[in-house]
Structure formats: C-alpha cells, structure tokens
Copies of this chain bind each other. A is one copy, B any other.
Amino acid sequence: MHSIHPLFWCVPVGSVVALAFAWYFFRQMMAEDEGTETMRKIAAHVRAGAYAYLRQQYKVVGIVFIVITLVFMFLAYGLKLQNPWVPFAFLTGGFFSGLAGFFGMKTATYASARAANAAKDSLDHGLRVAFRSGAVMGLVVVGLGLLDISIWFLVLSHFYPIGEAEGHNLIIITTTMLTFGMGASLQALFARVGGGIFTKAADVGADLVGKVEAGIPEDDPRNPATIADNVGDNVGDVAGMGADLYESYCGSILATASLGAAAFLGAGTDVQMKAVIAPMLIGAFGTLLSILGIFSVRVQKGADSKALLGALGKGINVSSALIIVFSALVLYFLKIPNWYGIWGAIVVGLITGIVIGRATEYYTSQAYRPTQRIAEQAKTGPATVIIAGMGEGMLSVAYPVLAVCVGTTLAYLLATGFTFDSDTMSQGLYGIGIAAVGMLSTLGITLATDAYGPIADNAGGNAEMSGLDPEVRRRTDMLDSLGNTTAATGKGFAIGSAALTALALLASYIEELKIGINRVMAQLGEFTFPDKTVVHSANEVTNLSLFDMMNVFEVNLMNPKVIIGLFLGCMMAFLFCGLTMNAVGRAASQMVDEVRRQFKEIPGILESKAEPDYARCVTISTFAAQKEMLFPALTAVIVPVLVGIVFGVPGVLGLLGGALAGGFALAVFMANSGGAWDNAKKYIEEGHHGGKGSEAHKASVIGDTVGDPFKDTSGPSLNILIKLMSMVSIVVAGVTVSFSLL
C-alpha cells in the first residue's frame, strides 16, 4: 500500500473534524434549557415515539439486509461469481446510512423543545439552536460518509496493493466500494419510504379529522394524531433525509472514483490514483469549508426574518465560493491532467445545482406567479386547485431537465477538452461525476439549512401543545418558513446530483461488467459477446472502450431489448409512486378511523378533560409504514436482477436509462406540485382570496393534503430508486454476465 497518495489522508482528517464538530454542536444544543415541565414531557413523548419507530424499522430492515447479505455470500463464496468483499461492504453501507439517520433524529428530538424555549427568548436565539442542531445532522452525514470511504479504501488497498503495474486493482477497489453504496441506497430507500408513509399518514389523518372535521388548529394537543404527526417529521424529514443524503453523498464520490480509475487506466497508476482520490478530497475540503460556513451564520440580537435569511444564505454562499477556490487548488496540486477542465466541471456542477434550486423556488414559492396562479384557482374550488397544481408541476419539469442537459454537456466537454470523440468518453463521464461531487461538496452546510426546517417545525408543535405564548409559535413558524426557502435549494442539489450520479453509475456498470467478463474468462478461457466478437485475454477486454462495449453488447436504440428496458424503467418510476401513494392513502384512512374513534369513544377529549391515546396513533403509523414499505423497496431490488437475467446488458441499460429520465421528470413534477400546493395555501392564509377560513382556503387545504405524499413520500423516494436500481445492477453485473452465456 506504499503508493496511496499522501493527500488522501485529508479525507479521514476531514471525517474526524466533521464528527468532532458534530459532537461539539450536539453538546452545545444539549446545554440549552429544555423549558417547562410540559415541554419536556411532550418532547419525551415525541422522542419515545420516534425511537419506537426506528427500533421497529431497523428490525425489519435488518432482516432484509441479512437475507441479501446471505445471497451475496452465496454468490461470492458458493458460486464464486462475485467479489468476496461485497457482502461486508454492503452491510457497512447500510449500517452507516442508518446511523446517520439515527444521530440526526436523536439530535432533532432533543432539539425541538430547546429550540421552542430559545424562541421564547428571541427569534435569533431560536434560529441558533435549530440551525446548530441541523448542523449536527449535516456534519454527521458527511463525517460518516468520509469515514466509511476512508476505511474501505485503506482496507482494500491493503488487499489489492496499488503498485506501478496494477492499475486494475484500483478499478477493483473502487467498484467494490460501490457495493457499500448499494447498502446505503437500500437503507435510504427504506428510511425514505417508511418515514414518508409514517409522516404523511399521520399528517393527513391529523389534518382531515382534526382541522377539517373537528375544526381544531394544527398541533392541538386534543388531536390524538398530533404526537404521531410530530414523530413523523422526525422519522421522515430528519432520519429519512439523513439516510437519503448519506447515500447521495457517498454515491457521487464513489461513482466518480470508480470512473476515475477506469478513465485514466492508460495513464499510469499515479494519475489514476489522483483521479480516484480527487472526488474524495473535494468532499473533505467541502466539509471543512462547510464548518466555516456554519460558523459564519451569525445574527445580531433581535434580527428580523430577512436578516436571518440573509445569514443562512451567506453561510451557504461563503462555503460555495470557497470550495470553488479550494477545489482549484486541490486539483492543481494533485496535478491531474487537464485539471482546469475538471475544475470547470465542478463549477458547472455547483451552478447546475443552484439553477435547479432557483427553478424549484420559482415554481414553489408564494413569491412567484406559478404558486399564485394555483392560489387564484382556489376561488373556483378544490378541483381547479388540483388541476392547476398538476399543470404547474408538470411544466416545472422543463427547467431542471434543461439545466441537467446543459450541465451534463458542459461538464462532459470541459473534462474532454471540448470534444465528443469516443476515445475521451470516459474522461467526459468522469467530468459528469465530479460535477455531482461539486454539487454536493458543501452538503455539510446545505443539509444543515435543510434539516433545521423540521426541527423548527417540531419546535412549533411543542410550543403549541405546551400552550406557550402565540408569539413563540409565530417565531417558530417564521423559522420554519425560512427553512422552506433554503430547502428549495437543498432539494435542487439533491435531485440534480441524483441525476448526474446515476449517469456516472451507468458507466461504472460497464466497468463492473468487464470485471465479470474477466472472471468468466479466467474459468472458460474465452468470452463471446452477443455480437459474436470473441475475446481471450483480460488485456483485450481492458482495451474495449465504453463505445466498443456498447457495440459488442448491442446496446443501441434499435435493439428491442433496450426499448423494452426503457419502457420498464419508466414503468418502475410510476409503479413505485403508485405503490407509495396508495400506501399513504391506506395508512391515512386507518389514522382517520382511529382519530374519529377516539373522539367518539373517549369522552372529554375535545374539552381537554381527557388525554387522547397518542401512542395508539404512533403504533398505527409505525406498523402501516413497516408493512407498506417492503414491497416497493424489494421491487426496486428484484426488477433490475430479473431484467438482467431475461434481457441481458441491453435490457439493464435501457431499464436504468428509462428509470433515470422518467424518474427524474416524475420526481420533479411531484415534488414541485406538492411544494406549490403547500405554499398556495400559505399564500391564501396570508390574506389573499379571502384568507383563512374562506372557501378558497378550504380548497387550498385539500390541495395541500394531496401534495403531502407527492412531496414527502413518493417524489423524494424516486431519487433513491433511480440510484438503487443502478447500484443493484452494478453489484449483480457479474451474475448477468454469467447468465448471458446460458
């Protein structure tokens, strides 16, 4: 392992620093006062519910992971079709992803009452507590991500030493590490889907009976589903998002590293090594700069909401500007060939993320026409609100898609030196991958601004239930709505990076195929491709460019297998959303029935004379989520395997391409429709079209309820679905290759 580049050590250092600061911010938050007895009690209720949910969730997920690990062990040790490290890498990915979610949730459940209590003091004190708690989550996610990457890189480079002549080992190391990406993806999918179903079942149920039927306000302690609703924010928006972004972060770095190993194979191990560690270094420096950015979020005592938003924006801008400078320095000192082109790709990635974020904001914020148009349609009732929200959401797909297309093209061309030549293809794809890394490099702080939203939301819930002064609630609402604006940018980065990462993963799949072919060739002496080309040596396989591989596997758009794959890929996106939407619908129905039952059977709830049975609602959401999350998640694992067996490599690549293009459009549509309905309601509540209590308001509440599963369950899960299907295909590529010989 003599030849690991010395700069690599920045990565574990970055990881440790991130985790240390996470710990520091956590202690700082814990040192705050948790407020009155009632506040503590409510926070304890929510915490207990969240823990109970997570325990149940990890139990179910644990079983799935054990089964899949056993299958991988059989494939690796029994049939010798797979790399022996796969089962372990897979497990750690899942474990760390779950851990990131757990720490985030733990912090959030301790922070909510403290943030509410701080908001009693002042708006800026509230922001500080909530934002620093969000920062814990941001730093835990990137810290654990870099830790997992560092450990595996060191371990594997011990077993596959990287000498001058062993460029292949770097390919094996990086593609093996992708397996832990699959573990992280699967965990993330469970967390997002399960958490999403939990939170929206509780939310929809609480709103429909509480707000609409009983006419009591949001977060009212008389509503039996209100604790479940607050638990939901923690398990869905915090734990789910943590696992999700852990996966995005690691996925983009690992995919790029693996592409780097492949793209620079011919240039010598030294250059290859640099290309592999470059994305990790960008991540490490981005983390350090994020910490700087977090500290730069300071507000004067008594600052107003505009100043707060300015402070948050400043934090992100400082980190982003610095990462542009630092990544140039890192690449320059690494002396990667064409470093300025690769640096350009990173900048393009950052800008693409910002553009998508701005587009998201335009289509979902009440400050702009689309959301206002939806609010206007509320005057003619719920039907027109829904139609308008769907229409605007579908239109909103255009800008993000165009941004991804332009960003991809530029990143590709910058990395190849402005040519579409087939020989520089791998470098171009490396450029696309590193653009995704650039987009996510400052995740430490963008995630902090994202995660602080649900914390503020929960603080508001706590304030309401504890009967604090309405001014406190007003302040937490303001914090929450600030969070919505910064979250739009965060969502842009999440979905944009998913698209670019998935693109890069397509190329990693091809590299993994080559490894599978070599394994087969080692046993049979030769390998025949579908187009009848025969290879006899590992060298011949290595020399096949990505385009050559496409030709020999006949992965072109006239091949019906590719077209069938495209159809199935788009279908998967819709099927997945249909399953999760229906799951929310069913679970919400159960919740509605339960809340109605409690109102009827427990006398005195509405007069605050009796306490509702909160725990029962939490249990309903928990079990509904567990039951409903299994089928969609397992479908995502099984379909790529089946398609690989039946339609081979062309089918798999079609499937992934279809899921990527179709899933991206569907995800943007659902997220933006949902967000716009939410804010159209808020716009009306601000006093437009009759304000609160008007017919238009009632119509907009219906729009908001429809939007809940759109934006918090189905939409965000699609990001992960796209990547999980790619990861699964990569991990079972060797099996697909063997089947193609039957």
Interface residues of A (CB under 8 A from B): 204, 208, 212, 377, 380-384, 386-388, 390-398, 401-402, 404-405, 408-409, 412, 420, 422, 425, 428-429, 432, 499, 503, 506-507, 510, 530-531, 546-547, 549-551, 554-564, 566-571, 573-575, 577-579, 581-582, 584-585, 588-589, 592, 653-654, 657-658, 660-662, 664-666, 669, 702, 705-706, 709
- Residues on B with C-beta less than 8 A from A549 are 558
- Residues on B with C-beta less than 8 A from A665 are 567, 570-571, 573-574, 662
Q: Are B550 and A556 in contact (CB under 8 A)?
A: yes
Assuming the contacts A551-B551, A654-B557, asked whether A575 and B398 have C-beta atoms less than 8 A apart, the reply is yes
B212, B409, B420, B568: which contacts A405 (Cβ < 8 A)? B568
Q: Are A563 and B394 in contact (CB under 8 A)?
A: no
- Residues on B with C-beta less than 8 A from A567 are 401, 404-405, 499, 660-661, 664-665
Assuming the contacts A384-B204, A387-B581, asked whether A589 and B377 have C-beta atoms less than 8 A apart, the reply is yes
Q: Are B658 and A578 in contact (CB under 8 A)?
A: no
A66–B568 alpha-carbon span in the complex (Å)? 40
A409–B559 alpha-carbon span in the complex (Å)? 11
Give the distance to chain B from A76, nearest Cβ to Cβ, in Å: 28
Tell me the nearest residue of chain B to A432, going by C-beta: B560
A-B contact pairs, 13 of them (CB 8 A): A208-B380, A380-B592, A383-B702, A386-B702, A387-B584, A392-B578, A401-B567, A401-B570, A550-B556, A563-B657, A567-B660, A658-B662, A662-B662
Assuming the contacts A550-B557, A558-B425, asked whether A391 and B571 have C-beta atoms less than 8 A apart, the reply is no
Give the distance to chain B from A256, nearest Cβ to Cβ, in Å: 15
- Residues on B with C-beta less than 8 A from A709 are 387
Q: Are B588 and A384 in contact (CB under 8 A)?
A: yes
B408, B554, B569, B660: which contacts A422 (Cβ < 8 A)? B554
Kindly list the 10 A-B residue pairs having the minimum CB-CB distance in the complex, ordered from nearest: A394-B578, A550-B556, A391-B581, A395-B578, A391-B582, A383-B705, A566-B661, A401-B571, A397-B574, A570-B661
A386–B654 alpha-carbon span in the complex (Å)? 32
Assuming the contacts A506-B558, A705-B383, asked whether A564 and B398 have C-beta atoms less than 8 A apart, the reply is no
Q: Are B582 and A395 in contact (CB under 8 A)?
A: yes
Q: A382-B382, A391-B582, A658-B662 are in contact. List 12 more A-B contacts (CB 8 A).
A: A391-B585, A395-B579, A408-B563, A409-B560, A425-B559, A429-B560, A566-B657, A567-B664, A570-B570, A570-B662, A570-B664, A574-B665
Assuming the contacts A408-B564, A567-B405, asked whether A386 and B388 have C-beta atoms less than 8 A apart, the reply is no
Give the distance to chain B from A650, nearest Cβ to Cβ, in Å: 8
Q: Chain A: interface secondary structure?
A: helix
Assuming the contacts A381-B212, A555-B557, A568-B405, asked whether A585 and B388 have C-beta atoms less than 8 A apart, the reply is yes
- Residues on B with C-beta less than 8 A from A531 are 422, 547
- Residues on B with C-beta less than 8 A from A706 are 383, 386-387, 390
- Residues on B with C-beta less than 8 A from A550 are 556-559
A419–B559 alpha-carbon span in the complex (Å)? 12
Q: Are B558 and A547 in contact (CB under 8 A)?
A: yes
- Residues on B with C-beta less than 8 A from A395 are 574-575, 578-579, 582
- Residues on B with C-beta less than 8 A from A391 are 577-579, 581-582, 585
A658–B555 alpha-carbon span in the complex (Å)? 15
A412–B559 alpha-carbon span in the complex (Å)? 11
- Residues on B with C-beta less than 8 A from A571 are 397-398, 401-402, 665
Give the distance to chain B from A403, nearest Cβ to Cβ, in Å: 10
- Residues on B with C-beta less than 8 A from A382 are 382, 702
Give the distance to chain B from A389, nearest Cβ to Cβ, in Å: 9
- Residues on B with C-beta less than 8 A from A530 are 420
Q: Are A390 and B581 in contact (CB under 8 A)?
A: yes
A568–B506 alpha-carbon span in the complex (Å)? 18
- Best-surrounded residue of A396, A506, A550, A569 (most CB of chain B within 10 A): A550
Q: Are B592 and A397 in contact (CB under 8 A)?
A: no
Q: Are A581 and B381 in contact (CB under 8 A)?
A: no
Assuming the contacts A384-B204, A547-B554, A567-B661, asked whether A428 and B397 have C-beta atoms less than 8 A apart, the reply is no
- Residues on B with C-beta less than 8 A from A568 are 401, 405
Assuming the contacts A395-B579, A555-B557, A567-B661, asked whether A208 and B574 have C-beta atoms less than 8 A apart, the reply is no
Q: Are B582 and A388 in contact (CB under 8 A)?
A: yes
Give the distance to chain B from A386, nearest Cβ to Cβ, in Å: 5
B386, B388, B661: which contacts A658 (Cβ < 8 A)? B661
- Residues on B with C-beta less than 8 A from A564 are 405, 408-409
- Residues on B with C-beta less than 8 A from A412 are 560
Tell me the nearest residue of chain B to A530, going by C-beta: B420
A653–B589 alpha-carbon span in the complex (Å)? 45
Give the distance to chain B from A588, nearest Cβ to Cβ, in Å: 7
A658–B663 alpha-carbon span in the complex (Å)? 11
- Residues on B with C-beta less than 8 A from A662 are 570, 658, 661-662, 665
B377, B387, B507, B557: which contacts A558 (Cβ < 8 A)? B507
- Residues on B with C-beta less than 8 A from A589 are 377, 380, 384
Q: Are A384 and B208 in contact (CB under 8 A)?
A: yes
A398–B577 alpha-carbon span in the complex (Å)? 12
- Residues on B with C-beta less than 8 A from A204 are 383-384, 387
Q: Are A577 and B405 in contact (CB under 8 A)?
A: no
- Residues on B with C-beta less than 8 A from A577 are 391, 394
Q: Are B507 and A384 in contact (CB under 8 A)?
A: no
Q: Are A557 and B657 in contact (CB under 8 A)?
A: yes
Q: Are B557 and A653 in contact (CB under 8 A)?
A: yes
Q: Are A377 and B547 in contact (CB under 8 A)?
A: no
A118–B339 alpha-carbon span in the complex (Å)? 81
Q: Are B212 and A560 in contact (CB under 8 A)?
A: no
A337–B283 alpha-carbon span in the complex (Å)? 62
- Residues on B with C-beta less than 8 A from A507 are 558
- Best-surrounded residue of A556, A570, A654 (most CB of chain B within 10 A): A556
Tell me the nearest residue of chain B to A579, going by C-beta: B395
- Residues on B with C-beta less than 8 A from A658 are 566, 661-662
Give the distance to chain B from A668, nearest Cβ to Cβ, in Å: 8
Tell me the nearest residue of chain B to A593, going by C-beta: B380
Give the distance to chain B from A506, nearest Cβ to Cβ, in Å: 7
